[in-house]
Every structure is written in C-alpha cells, then in structure tokens.
Structure 1
Amino acid sequence: MLLDQVNLNQLRVFQEVFKTNSMTMAAKNLHLTQSGVSQHIRSLEETLDVQLFDRINQRLIPTNKGKELYTNISRGLSGIEDALWGLKDDKQNLKGTVTIGMPIEFGNNEIIPLLCEFSKNFPFIKYRLYLDFAEVFNQKLLNGDIDFAFVDQFKMDRRIHLEQIYSENLELCISPELLDNKKIKNEKKFYESLPYVEYQQGQPVLGRWFEQHLGNKNLNLDVKATVMDVQGLSKFIVRGMGAGILPHHLYDRLIKRGHEIIRFEGSGKPLVNQISLAYIENRSFDTSSSTLLNWLVDRLKQSATN
C-alpha cells in the first residue's frame, strides 16, 4: 500500500507548511529545524511522485496537487487528533475560560458553530465572546482582556501578530426603488446622489469600496443610518433606506430568498475583505486556549480551501 510508504509526520509537516506558506514558520510551530521540514516535504514529494509546492522567488506556492492533498488529509488528521484525545480522556482535564473577539457576522456564521462542535470533545472549556470591530480588539489584545481575536482588515498595533485565514468579497448593494430609473455610472457624481447606510461613523467600509472602484474614498455621502450589525444593515438596504456594503454570501442569500437587490459592479474588480487571526506575538497561552486556537485555524483553513 502507498500508505505504508508515507510517514504520518510527513503529512503533519506538509499540513503546517501549507497553512503557513513558509518552511521557516512551520519549523517554528512544529519545533523542528528548517532543514528537517524541507527534508520531510522533499521525501513526501518523492514518495507520491508529485510536486506539492512551486518555489517562486523564495516563496512557496501550493500546486493543484498540493491543494488537493491538503483538502483530503486535513479532515483525516483532525479525526485522528480527536480520536487520540478521546483515548487519553484529556478532554476531562482541559478546563478554563477562553476569551475571543470576532466580527459579528463572521462570529455568528463561522466561529460560534465551530465552538459548539469543539465543545463536544472538550465539555469543560467555557467561552467569553466579544462581537465588535477590529479597532476595539486592538486595544483589548494589548490590555490582555482577550486571548485572541478574528479581525477584519485594520492596521493593528505592530505588537499584534496577524495570520490571514479567511476572505470574502464585499458588495455595494441597493434597492431598485432608490435608483428611480437612474442610469448606473461608476462615477463620483452618481454615487454622491444616493443615500447610504453604514456600519460605523466615518464610513470606513464604504470608503474602502470607493477607493477600490473609483480610486477616491473621500466622497460626500448622505449616510442615513449606522448600525454595527450586518443583518440590521441588510434590512435597511432591502427596505430602501440606502445603499450599503454586504458580504457576498449574504447578498447571495437575500437574492435566493427573492429580495430585489442591485449589486454595483464598480470597476469590475471585487473588494476583498480579509479575516485574520490576531494575537500578541509572545503571549503564553494555556493548554485550553492553544488547543482551541489551533483547532479553529485548521477548520477555517479547511473551509477556505473547499
């Protein structure tokens, strides 16, 4: 069997190199030497007779075969990990409270369901969750008020380490009734003629969209309401209060439910929102926090590649 020729450590090393896109970082995370990591990858490629990474300008780029292997082995390795925890019965010993920050929509749709799944194996871990903006978590991380956070794009303090784990397209949407037969033009004057709804004062998300599509984020916008919840914002949009930014999955869901919403194409290149894991670089995590953090990152990256 081909499996007899593959070392489980090789698959674990491959998984970590794929997640970090770096042999140096993978070596650090796995407490191995960089040459040891390189040897594991080279040996796995020779055994499988496939190239798993392209080496371009000192960067590792997963090949299609590498992506396929990562998707197929990740669930298996995670299942082995869960089985081993079950045998050791260490789940009875992992206790304490893990404090996590997250954006509202991403937290409700992605993190909270994963926490419910994780709790089946670790029933004595408790959670304290904050749903807010990245700028709030920036300070909470520095103050030690939270263990780690998931944040939208925001210039965090340099002491905070960021690891990108998820991405989503952001769409500027509007109810047809607000256009009033206006011809859509990707022009400053046209956009300034419309009403808007936003997540925060100062229009940071709208500003990013206009900077992406017009090269100018300083438009004079008539913002009718601000609400920090994307579900609330979507209700404003659907009911004709103003144009606003929605993640693509929510826009798609509203269309499937029969709501009439127009999505602006802009310049044609979508605005991408990156979700990153944020934590203090040299902070010491207890076993419960580190176990949860690593498990969440694995699951989220699996989801992103599927």
Structure 2
Amino acid sequence: MEIRHLRLVKEVASKGSLTKAMDALFLSQSALSHQLKEIETQLGAPLFHRINKRLVLTGAGKIVLDSAEKILCELEQTELSVKKYVGGDTGTIRLTTQCYTTYHWLPSLMIDFNKEFPKIEIEIYPDDTDHTEKLLLNGKIDIAIVSEKRNYPNLHYHDLFEDEMVAIVPSSHKLAKKKYLNAKDFADETLIIHSYPLHSVEVIRSVLMPAGVQPKKVMSIQVTEAVIEMVKAGLGVKVMAQWMATPYLKDRSLTAIPITKKGLFRNWYAVMFDKQESQQYLLNFIDHLKCNIAGICEVK
C-alpha cells in the first residue's frame, strides 16, 4: 500500500462515493476507480460495499481506514513540525566555540534572539576540541565558532569579527609598563594556555615560533576564572582576547598589554552546513553573535 491509497480510502469512506472524493484528491473518477481496484487487488479483499450508489466500508475496509487515519495524522504532524523547524517557529541551535569557558555574552544574546524566535532553544556543547568542525560533520552541533578556516567543502564559514589578543599580567609585573610585548618578553615567563597542542595557540604560532622563542614554562588551564586567579598571584602570563579580558580589568589589579607593535589579531568565523542556510533563524543567530560579541549590529 502507498500513501495515496490510504488517502483514497479515508476520503471515500468520508464522502461515500468516488465522485464526491474527486475534488479533495484532485483526480478524475476513473483514476480513483483504478486506484481503488489496485489496492483491493493487492490486499485480496474488497474495501467497500456498493449499496444504492453509495460506497460503504467492509470489515477489511475498516481495518485499512483505522491504519490510514493514524498514519496520515502522523504524516501531517511530521510535515507541520518540519515546516515550523525550517521557518523558525520551533527548533534548537546546538553551539560550540573554541573559547567555550567564556560565555558572558550569551545571556544578552539569548534575550535579543528570543525576541524574534521565542521557540528556538540554544544549547551549549561543552566540548574541548581542536577540530570543532568535526562535531558539525558528525551531526552533534549546528554552529561552531572558530578562529581558523579549514578546508571542509560541505561547510560554510561566515565572517564574524576580528579581535585583538593581549597579554594579561598583574599591574605590579615588570612587563606592565611596556607599551607592547615582543616575542623575547615571553622567554622568562610561564605562559598559561587554554589547551594543547601548542601550534593551536595563537601567540605561539604567530609570534613566538617565528622568532624562535620558547617561554620558560607552559601551563594548560581551561577554566578562565582559575587562569585569572593564577595571573593575579603572579604565577603566569595569559594571552587572551581583549573582549574576554575586559570584565577582569575593572579592579585594575591586572593590566592588558598589546602584543607586538602592530598588535596580534584573529579573525573569527561561524561555521555551519551550506544546506542549513535555508533555516533563517540560524543566519539570524549569526548576526546576533556579531552584535553581542563584537558590537557589530547588523541584525536584519
């Protein structure tokens, strides 16, 4: 049996004749008669009694009708759910980012975004990985925020913003008075990083390695608040984005110093599947990211 057969049985049972079912099914009477004969032949049983020009369900027909009503109802609900999902009436955005321990921008983003899409939920995938795109390809997330473009033909990288990396040191530190830091300034310092491998750390990859400089020690700490306390205690230097550092500079116990005379900058991207661009709320969410993280408000 096919879906068209189920629709035929339901409509004929409701209307009582093929003629009255024509308009609802958009088929001629001869086409409907052919379909009815087809399904009855396939099942090996008549589905309707012909009584005074009216079609009345047989016992076999009632069995088919019961199944038809359940299956067609389920299909209608599925179609409705998919349309709501694509249109933004309902859905979930699963998000991860390379700087996943710092989400102080998330509450304001959710408030703004939910004004337009109140039934879209935002879920954070708290995974620490050097290849967040793999989570996309494995179907675990919908959007990844990354600071490096990679060659994945099925993924699209949306430009988000550029941020500046700065070194965070105690205000009493010997480096605190410098206008900017060069590679050699890290040679005698413990550098606190978020995670390995070292080549994924921007300051190491872009500044220290080209200059042939290694820090005295490298320490990996993933929790931002713990990093800040370590720096305050004079146990290391942390390089982080200026926008991430700003909330921790208010009491002036810490100082942010530019790296190199030209500064150290990164580009950030929101990555998603190309085919997901039909879901407007995902694109809208990316615009809200620009507004809430970088202050670049282009929400349409």
Q: How many residues align?
A: 212
SS at match of 1:157: coil
Supply the distance in 2 between the matched residues of 1:131 and 1:217 (Cα, whole angstroms): 34
Q: Does 1:268 align with 2:284?
A: no
Deviation at residue 277 of structure 1 after TM alignment: 1.1
Name which of 148, 159, 164 aligns with 1:153: 148
Name which of 249, 271, 275 aligns with 1:278: 271
Deviation at residue 298 of structure 1 after TM alignment: 2.7
Name which of 242, 248, 253 aligns with 2:247: 253
Deviation at residue 194 of structure 1 after TM alignment: 1.2
Supply the distance in 2 between the matched residues of 1:171 and 1:121 (Cα, whole angstroms): 35
- 2:288 — aligned with what? 299
Q: Deviations over 1:218-274 (max 9, x none)?
A: 5333445312233332222222120111211243433332213352x4431111122
SS at match of 1:304: coil
Deviation at residue 188 of structure 1 after TM alignment: 5.0
Q: Deviations over 1:135-182 (max 9, x none)?
A: 342111111221222222253534322111122111022225554999
**CA 1:183–1:94 in structure 2 vs 1: closer, same or farther (change >3 Å)?**
closer
Q: Does 1:202 align with 2:191?
A: no
Supply the distance in 2 between the matched residues of 1:194 and 1:243 (Cα, whole angstroms): 7
Q: Is the 8 A contact 2:168 2:256 kept in 1?
A: yes
Q: Give matches, 1:3-42, under 5 Å.
A: none
**Amino acid paired to 2:203:** W
**Amino acid paired to 1:96:** G
Supply the distance in 2 between the matched residues of 1:255 and 1:242 (Cα, whole angstroms): 16
User: Alignment identity in percent?
Assistant: 15
SS at match of 1:251: helix
Supply the distance in 2 between the matched residues of 1:174 and 1:180 (Cα, whole angstroms): 8
SS at match of 1:123: coil
- In the alignment, structure 1 segments of 5+ residues that lack a partner are 1-88
Q: Does 1:96 align with 2:91?
A: yes
Name which of 123, 134, 141 aligns with 1:139: 134
Supply the distance in 1 between the matched residues of 2:175 and 2:144 (Cα, whole angstroms): 42
Q: Is the 8 A contact 2:90 2:120 kept in 1?
A: yes
- 2:112 — aligned with what? 117
Return the TM-score normalized by structure 2. Answer: 0.57
Q: Is the 8 A contact 1:104 1:131 kept in 2?
A: no
**Amino acid paired to 2:272:** Y
**CA 1:230–1:204 in structure 2 vs 1: closer, same or farther (change >3 Å)?**
farther
**CA 1:218–1:203 in structure 2 vs 1: closer, same or farther (change >3 Å)?**
farther
Q: Is the 8 A contact 1:91 1:122 kept in 2?
A: no
Return the TM-score normalized by structure 1. Answer: 0.56
Q: Is the 8 A contact 1:186 1:214 kept in 2?
A: no
- 1:61 — aligned with what? none
Q: Is the 8 A contact 2:287 2:297 kept in 1?
A: no
